[in-house]
Structure 1
């Protein structure tokens, strides 16, 4: 009887040790897998370098060959992690297809999918997430927005972010990755304009600035 009791206590003790080890491992994983400020900065800088090389060298670049010869760099705001926000996803009721106006007067069709609601600039903001009617991955969204910097420090026709859902009811919006549409470099291109819901009355001093020849 005493032997069984000792064996049971020993088993419980081993189980407690194993559970403790699992908890410690989980906490350690969370701490080590979190992105460090240095790693985040390097990721943004790498994306900006990729963007520059595409605009400068790619055959599908919106720049003319003459523009490419004089092209030296893209202009960005300093990287600021405060402009990487976690937003709540609020589904649009009765989703429908919207004809989004283009800079040349034509339209492009997108699905009004969800609103992304987040805190920034001391207030609650909301942006409409659109989805291409031909999009195969339902986690990918097109986000076009304008803000108080538009037409001054940034392109007047707004900027874009490629947003991807990363939670059941949430999405990360990183304004440090905001980029200019092709028509910011070459007016021969037609680009979707931000919907009225996405004209923010705060300054988004992050991402790409206006292109100046």
Structure 2
């Protein structure tokens, strides 16, 4: 299996976990915490034990846990979708200098930390479920507390013109663990000045 296929496999697992989380979500704070914790454990086990993990064998042996920010429900926000006029294919730069094609699909606007924010949602060119989106972002923690190349969230539209973003589910791309992998770089629209202290922190070898 090539590196792109491995990356897609991992993204698929994250999407599945995110969808299960979305459909079983609840306002019960205890259940919410349990759901996020279960998703983090699933992510750890994939990296530690799965044959498609980006980790080398010595990295797997040394991996005891992943580093996350404490779960903070305030980082789960509801956003309004604004379709991009004249949707088109764009080529997103990868960390190895190559380009990957995505559909420049929609903007999502929301409130976080008392600020109005707007992020660009991409959609894979071959996505069969048109309610699924890919969010790549960087923020005030990038290259310090979190991976310098940004983090990802896989999203699913859950309203006619709305979508839920839970930054507690933000995860590192494969290249955060292994530079041999190429990963999409967040578009300029998704470079946030504020720190997003939620989700996965930087991977320390």
TM interval, short-chain normalised: 0.7 to 0.9
Q: Please state how far the C-alpha of 1:66 moved relative to its aligned partner.
A: 1.0
Q: Equivalents in 1 of 2:38, 2:144: separation in Å?
A: 26
The list of structure 1 runs, each at least 4 consecutive aligned residues, that deviate by more than 4 angstroms after superposition, is: none
Contact 2:26 2:32 in 1 (8 A): no
> Could you give the per-residue CA deviations for residues 133-192 of structure 1, whole angstroms, max 9, x where no partner exists?
000000000000000000000000000000110000100000000000000000000000
Q: Please state how far the C-alpha of 1:34 moved relative to its aligned partner.
A: 4.5
SS for the counterpart of 1:96 is: strand
Q: Does 1:46 align with 2:38?
A: yes
Aligned mate of 1:190, from 182, 191, 205: 182
SS for the counterpart of 1:95 is: strand
Aligned mate of 1:95, from 80, 87, 95: 87
Aligned mate of 2:152, from 154, 160, 176: 160
Residue in 1 that maps onto 2:67:
75
Q: How does 1:1-213 map to 2 (within 5 A)?
A: 34-213=26-205
For structure 2, the 5+ residue unaligned runs are 1-24
Q: Equivalents in 1 of 2:201, 2:127: separation in Å?
A: 28
Q: Which has the greater radius of gyration?
A: 1
SS for the counterpart of 2:85 is: coil
For structure 1, the 5+ residue unaligned runs are 1-32
Taking structure 2 as the reference length, the TM-score comes to 0.87
Q: Equivalents in 1 of 2:26, 2:41: separation in Å?
A: 24
Taking structure 1 as the reference length, the TM-score comes to 0.84
